[in-house]
Amino acid sequence: MNRPSFPDFVVADGDLDLTKLLVALAEGCKVISHLVNNVGLSDIIGHTGSSNVHGEDVQKLDDLTNKILTDYLTASETCAGFVSEENEHILTLNAGGKFTIAVDPLDGSSNIDVAAPIGTIFCVHERLTAPGGDVEGVDFLQKGTATRAAGYFIYGSSTMLIISTGRGVNGFTLNTADNEFYLSHPNIMMPEKGKIYSINQGNAQKYDDGLRNFLNYCGEVDKDTSRPYSLRYIGSMVGDIHRNLIKGGIFIYPANKGETKGKLRLLYECIPMSFIVEQAGGKASDGKMRILEIQPTDFHERCAIFIGSKNLMDKALEFVNQ
Ligand code: AHG
Ligand code: MN
Ligand code: MN
């Protein structure tokens, strides 16, 4: 293969401990990719019967992917702390490590049994407390502007790793012949002008007037602005945002009458996806402020999110702040 493999590419980034952490994460997600691609032939499809800290049904694969990531990151000996959608509390993995990681082990779980794209989202910070002891809350409750590395794995028609360490966004595709990630999408830039909007239109009655006016704007006929735009929504944040990253578009999960802070979690969904989109030239806001400037106060806090191409973001925020 005359493309750099992920391990070779990421070593060039400099920090050896961070390289070891990210390579271990990629190894764990190769295992997850294999499980996802064969889920219908195994007994890991379906629900565990328990619910997580968010009161959501936990699927067997949510639990299993969470365990795989914990095991691989512990083995890397570089990851001090772990916070996950599937764990109520923070975990100390390697007290001597200098990084913490926030993960959504499996995003879009409702799509597991219908073979639609799902993913793993991750966000790495440097711990603030001294290495050697247990991690503390402050090690995780850091702004997105302090992100050291973030991205996602998408298990779709191909398995890809989309990652940024703060110097642009690169995409790697898993080669099924040798089970290695190779650089396939160097320096991804999100199209400035998008024509796709992603939102759960079924909740429209619960949205504020300003947002509803934006949705009406998207549906109007206007040749100059290539409207009507196309509505694309697959119920998987990773799937919807990855499509928009490549083709241009906006993804919105707003606060609404039923979910006053929105649904998506700040630490392991909104911050990492916003870091990627901003590094690719897009924008990300909670409707009022830049997501990466929000100071987290709780490991599992939710936040509203508007994220995508500049033209659609500017127009959407104009409507919702009228
Ligand atoms: P998760 O599977 O990690 O709980 O995330 C599901 C999220 C996100 O992936 C998606 O954008 C959103 O839920 C869809 O929510 P609705 O079904 O309410 O539209
Ligand atoms: Mn999720
Ligand atoms: Mn999840």
Runs of H (alpha helix) within 169-269: 209-219, 237-247
pLDDT of residue 44: 83
Spacing, Cα 129 to ligand 2 middle (Å): 28
pLDDT of residue 224: 94
> What is the average pLDDT score of the chain?
96
In which residue ranges of the chain is CATH 3.30.540.10 found?
6-185
pLDDT at 54 over 80: no
Q: What is the largest CA-CA distance in the chain?
A: 61
Spacing, Cα 111 to ligand 3 middle (Å): 11
Which ligand 1 atom sits closest to the C-alpha of 235? Answer: 14
Atom 15 (ligand 1): residue with closest C-alpha? Answer: 235
Question: Which residue reads 């508007």 in tokens?
Answer: 306
The whole-number average pLDDT for the span 20-43 is 96
Ligand 1 neighbourhood includes 180 CB (under 6 angstroms): no
Mutate to test the pocket of ligand 1, among 54, 58, 107 (most ligand atoms within 8 A of CB): 107
Runs of H (alpha helix) within the chain: 6-11, 16-37, 60-76, 209-219, 237-247, 271-279, 310-320
The set of residues, in sequence order, having a beta carbon less than 8 Å from that of 174 and lying 6+ positions away, is 30, 33, 158, 159, 160, 161, 180, 181
- pLDDT, one tens digit per residue, over 139-184 is 999 999 999 999 999 999 999 999 999 999 999 999 999 999 999 9
Going from the C-alpha of 288 to that of each of 204, 255, 264, 321, the distances in angstroms are 20, 12, 16, 8
Atom 17 (ligand 1): residue with closest C-alpha? Answer: 235
Q: Which CATH number fits domain 6-185: 3.40.50.10860, 3.40.50.2000, 3.90.1150.10, 3.30.540.10?
A: 3.30.540.10
* pLDDT band, very low/low/confident/very high, at 51 (cuts 50, 70, 90): confident
Ligand 1 neighbourhood includes 228 CB (under 6 angstroms): no
The H helix count followed by the E strand count for the chain is 7, 15
Record the tokens describing residue 57, joined without a space. 């049904």
pLDDT of residue 12: 66
- Which CATH code for domain 196-320? 3.40.190.80
Main-chain phi, psi angles of 101, to 5 degrees: -135, 140
Which region among 53-67, 219-233, 237-251 has the lowest average model confidence (pLDDT)?
53-67
Residue 301: count other Cβ atoms within 10 Å of its Cβ: 14
Query: Is the pTM for the entire model greater than 0.85?
Result: yes
CA dihedral 272, 307, 112, 91 (to 10 degrees): 20
* pLDDT band, very low/low/confident/very high, at 296 (cuts 50, 70, 90): very high
Spacing, Cα 237 to ligand 2 middle (Å): 7
Query: Roughly how many angstroms between the first and final C-alpha of the chain, as a whole number?
Result: 53
DSSP state of 77: T
Mutate to test the pocket of ligand 1, among 111, 242, 252, 263 (most ligand atoms within 8 A of CB): 263
Q: How far from the centroid of its chain's Cα atoms is residue 87's Cα? A: 17
In which residue ranges of the chain is CATH 3.40.190.80 found?
196-320
